[in-house]
Amino acid sequence: MTRLRAEGLTLGYDDRTIVDNLDVTVLDGKVTAIVGANACGKSTLLRGLARLLAPRAGTVLLDGRSLAELRNIDVAKVLGLLPQTPVAPDGITVADLVSRGRYPHQGWFRRWNDDDHDAVARALDATGTADLIDRPIRELSGGQRQRVWVAMALAQDTDLLLLDEPTTYLDINHQVELLRLLRKLNAESGKTIVIVMHDLNLACRYCDHLIAMSSGAIVAEGAPVDVVTGDLVEQVFGLNCLVVPDPIAGTPMVVPA
């Protein structure tokens, strides 16, 4: 039983089709990375899975029901997404921003209760941002800011969390820190996590499952050890390379030849 999957999914913008007739299954309780070259359709796929983009054809199924049939607010209680470049109003503080993750759990008149408090406090603690609550987002470093956004997504308290290139603007230290945080969240709460990312080595090291995409289609998928080979990297990224075991974790590591 998987909670999130797509059948015959076709996605596109205007008159361009980006993702064509794709079947995808997101493994429950695992950390999955979607990798691929620029413009291979990986972010588009993620947007389709999170119903930010309506399918041209096919369906995305959440718990066996089509996303199109479900109410936005009900989807938002189960499925969260951190966009690639989220925007925040000028001067907003960390506490205010993270609290807004509670939106789907509140009603028009029921505004704020202990559950909300607990969820926000847990999200702040899990991401190590609790001591920043009074600070405006604008004043934070890139790494801190990304952790705050993750905290907002965590406060939403969803079983599935999709992240669109969360590591792109971070230095190597903060990239690793963020991926470790996501691993920890997955280990502690069994949260299903899907990350779109560029760095194949980090994806192999920190994710359970890899989906490799090229020109809108899935080329390979499976555990990193099973799928990452020199041929695959050549095919997906057009890079001639050597794949060696990571000296620490033993996961595949790509070294340009």
Give the interface with another protein as residue ranges (CB under 8 A).
50-52, 71-77, 80-83, 86-93, 95-97, 99-101, 103-104, 106, 108, 112, 117-118, 120-122, 124-126, 130, 133-134, 136, 156, 188-190
Q: To which residue do tokens 């600070």 refer?
A: 135
The amino acid sitting at 236 is V
SS3 content of the chain, % helix, strand, coil (to 5): 40, 30, 35
Q: Is the CB of 191 or the CB of 209 nearer to another protein?
A: 191
Q: Is the CB of 89 or the CB of 238 nearer to another protein?
A: 89
CB of 120 to another protein, least distance (A): 6
**Closest to 80 measured CA to CA, from 186, 151, 161, 190:** 161
CB of 228 to another protein, least distance (A): 30
Q: Is the CB of 91 or the CB of 245 nearer to another protein?
A: 91
Number of Cβ atoms within 10 Å of the Cβ of 97: 21
CB of 61 to another protein, least distance (A): 18
CB of 3 to another protein, least distance (A): 17
Q: Is the CB of 95 or the CB of 219 nearer to another protein?
A: 95
- The contacts of residue 55 (CB under 8 Å, 6+ apart) are 9, 10, 11, 48, 68
**Distance, C-alpha 193 to centroid of its chain:** 6
CB of 66 to another protein, least distance (A): 17
| Cα–Cα–Cα angle for 207, 128, 4, rounded to 5 degrees | 35
